[in-house]
Structure 1
Amino acid sequence: MDVIVTILMLILFIILLVFVFSVGLMTPVIGKRNIFFVIFIGFMVGVIGGTFFILPVYDNIPQIARGFYESLSSSPETVYVDLSHDINIAEFTRDVKNIEGVEDVKVEYGLLKTDNFTSERGELIEKGIPFIDSNVTYCSVDPRGTIIFKVKGGDPQATIDRISDWLIITSEIYTKYSIIRVSIHTHANKIENLREYLSSKGIAIASIEGPVEENIKGFRASMPPKSAVVVSCGFIGMLAGLAGIFIDSIMAFLSAIKRKLGR
C-alpha cells in the first residue's frame, strides 16, 4: 500500500466521522431521547470504517516501520531466496554481487520434491547421493518425497540433474520440481537495491534475518490485536456522535476557559 492510498483511507474514515458528527448535530430535530440511537450509529459506523479503512492501514504499519528501520541502520542482514532450476546460478550470483551493499552470495542447499518412496529406498538414496556427486557434503531424505542436499563447490543445478537422472534410472522416482536456496548478505540501508533487482527478475524473498528483522518482529508483537483496533474505531465513532450532540455545551465550556485565561 503506497502513501497516497494510505492517506485516502484515512480521509474516508474521517468523512465517516464527520457523518456521525452531523447525525449528532441533528438531535435538536430528532430529540434528545434518541441520544442512544446516535451513540449506536456512531459505534457501528466507527466499526465499519475501522474494518474497511483503518485495518488495511494498520496491516501496512510493520512494512512502514521496516522501511524506517532499514533507512537508519547499516546492520548486516541476510536475505534468503529460492531459485528455480532454470535460473543460471553463476549469472545470478555475479549480478547480485554487483548490487551496491551486497557483501556475499552463498548457496545454502538444494531441494528436490519427488514421488514418494519407501523408508528402505530412502536409506539407499541418502547413502548413494554422495557417490553420485562428490561435491555433496550433506544429504537428508524424507520418504514423503523430499531430498535436501548441500554442496561444496561445483554447480548445484548439475547436482540436481545427476540426482534426478539417477532416481529415474535406479528407482523410477520422478522429480516434480526443485529449488536452490541462496543466502545474500547485505546491509539494511541498501536492501532496497536488492529488492528492486529481485523484483525485476520475478524472484520473491523467502525470508530475511538480522537485527532489523528482529526489531520488526518485536514491533509486531507489541501491536494490539485487530479486534481491539476495530473496537477502538467504534468508540471513536461514538465520541464523534457525542461531540455532535453536546457541541453547544462543549463550545460554551471552551469559551468559559478562554475568558478565564484572558483575565
Structure 2
Amino acid sequence: MVFAFSIGMLKQFMPKREIVLVLVVAFLIGAIGGAFFLDPIYDELPNVVGAIERNMPNNEETLYLDLSSSIDIDELKDNLSNTEGFKSFKEESITIPMWTFNEREHNYFEEIVGNIDYNYKDYNITSSEIKISLEDNYTSSEALKSFSDWYKLVYGDTISYAQVHAILVVDSASLDTFEQNLLDKGIVATNIEGPIQDTVDNTNRSMLSDTEFTLFCGGLGVVAAVLGIYIDSVVPAYRRFRKFVNDKRKR
C-alpha cells in the first residue's frame, strides 16, 4: 500500500494520461500483495477468534462420538473423567447393523424391539439397522447384551458388534487436550458444538473467498494510489480546515 501511495505521489512528474496506468499498477500491487502476503494471515482469522473464545470462562464444548463396541468404553470414560476440564460423558444410543429387511421383517422388529428390554428409551428401525436410545445409567454393553441374548434365543445366533453413540462435554479451554486424547486412541469427534465451534463457523461464513479478498486488496491499492495522487491538495485543505476550527474556538 505504501508503494502504491508513493506511485500516486509521482503524478506531478507524469502526463495526465498516465494516471490510468498508475491506478492499474496500484491495483496489481495490492492484489499481488493481498494474495501472497495478507491472505495467509487472513486465513488464520477463525483460529485467532476461536483462541479468544477458548479462554472465556464457563464455556463448554459438546463432542459427539461414534465408537466401536469393541472399545473398552469404561476405560475410555475413566481416562476422560480424569482429564482436567471433563464435565460429563454419556452413552446415548447404539446402532446395530443388520441385513436388508423386507417389509415383513421390518414390521416384526418394529413391534418386538421395544419389548426386549425396558431400558430401551426409544428405538428406530431402518432398512438395514436398528438404533436404540438408552436410558440414563444404562450402558451400551448392557443394551447390546440384552439384544444379543434375545437374538440368539429367536435366531440361534449372536450379535457381537454395534456402533456406540456417546456425548462428551468438556471445558472450552481444554478442548484441544481432549481432542488429542481421543486422537491418540484413534477417535475423532463426528461433530462439535459450543461457543468455540460456533464462533469459528460464523467467522468462516462471514469471510471473503480468496478471490474476493485478493480483489479487495487490489481495491485498497487503488485507494492508496488515489490518496497519493491528491495528497498535495488534501493536506493544504486539511490545514485550512483545522485553522478554521481553531479560529472558531478562540472566538
| TM-score, normalized by the shorter chain, greater than 0.5 | yes
Report the equivalent of 1:69.
Answer: 53
**1:5-57 CA deviation, whole Å, 9 max, x = no partner?**
xxxxxxxxxxxx46655765776787542322332343345445545654554
Aligned pairs for 1:101-120 (under 5 A) are 101-113=85-97, 115-120=99-104
**Percent of aligned pairs with the same amino acid:** 24
SS in 2 for 1:72: coil
Report the equivalent of 1:232.
Answer: 216
Aligned pairs for 1:1-263 (under 5 A) are 17=1, 20=4, 31-47=15-31, 49-50=33-34, 54-113=38-97, 115-130=99-114, 135-143=119-127, 145-152=128-135, 153=137, 155-157=139-141, 159-160=143-144, 166=151, 179-210=163-194, 212-213=195-196, 216=199, 219-220=202-203, 223=206, 225-226=208-209, 229-242=213-226, 246=229, 249=232, 253=235, 257=239
User: Cα distance 1:115–1:69, how it changes in 2: closer, same or farther (>3 A)?
Assistant: same
Work out which of the two has the higher radius of gyration on C-alpha atoms and give 1 or 2.
2
User: Cα distance 1:218–1:89, how it changes in 2: closer, same or farther (>3 A)?
Assistant: closer
Q: Tell me how far apart the structure 2 counterparts of residues 107 and 65 of structure 1 sit (CA, whole Å).
A: 32
Q: Tell me how far apart the structure 2 counterparts of residues 188 and 134 of structure 1 sit (CA, whole Å).
A: 36
Q: Tell me how far apart the structure 2 counterparts of residues 179 and 44 of structure 1 sit (CA, whole Å).
A: 55
Deviation at 1:188, TM superposition (A): 2.4
SS in 2 for 1:196: helix
Q: Tell me how far apart the structure 2 counterparts of residues 234 and 195 of structure 1 sit (CA, whole Å).
A: 39
User: Cα distance 1:70–1:34, how it changes in 2: closer, same or farther (>3 A)?
Assistant: same
Q: Is the CA contact 2:122–2:132 (under 8 Å) kept in the aligned structure 1? A: yes
Q: Is the CA contact 2:98–2:129 (under 8 Å) kept in the aligned structure 1? A: yes
Q: Which runs of 5+ in 2 are unaligned?
A: 244-251
Deviation at 1:194, TM superposition (A): 1.7
Q: Tell me how far apart the structure 2 counterparts of residues 98 and 129 of structure 1 sit (CA, whole Å).
A: 36
Deviation at 1:93, TM superposition (A): 0.7
What's the TM-score once normalised by structure 2's chain length? 0.68
The count of aligned residue pairs is 238
Q: Is the CA contact 1:112–1:147 (under 8 Å) kept in the aligned structure 2? A: yes
Report the equivalent of 1:14.
Answer: none
Deviation at 1:109, TM superposition (A): 1.4
Q: Which moved more, 1:67-76 or 1:112-121?
A: 112-121
Q: Is the CA contact 1:50–1:234 (under 8 Å) kept in the aligned structure 2? A: yes
SS in 1 for 2:55: helix
Report the equivalent of 1:7.
Answer: none
Deviation at 1:89, TM superposition (A): 0.9
User: Cα distance 1:34–1:183, how it changes in 2: closer, same or farther (>3 A)?
Assistant: same
The runs of at least 4 consecutive aligned structure 1 residues that moved more than 6 Å come to 25-30
Q: Tell me how far apart the structure 1 counterparts of residues 139 and 165 of structure 2 sit (CA, whole Å).
A: 13
User: Cα distance 1:151–1:222, how it changes in 2: closer, same or farther (>3 A)?
Assistant: closer
Deviation at 1:216, TM superposition (A): 1.8
Q: Is the CA contact 2:47–2:200 (under 8 Å) kept in the aligned structure 1? A: no
Q: Which moved more, 1:147-156 or 1:61-70?
A: 147-156
Deviation at 1:134, TM superposition (A): 6.0
Q: Which runs of 5+ in 1 are unaligned?
A: 1-16
Q: Which moved more, 1:96-105 or 1:32-41?
A: 32-41
User: Cα distance 1:108–1:63, how it changes in 2: closer, same or farther (>3 A)?
Assistant: farther
Q: Is the CA contact 2:53–2:196 (under 8 Å) kept in the aligned structure 1? A: no
SS in 2 for 1:73: coil
Report the equivalent of 2:248.
Answer: none
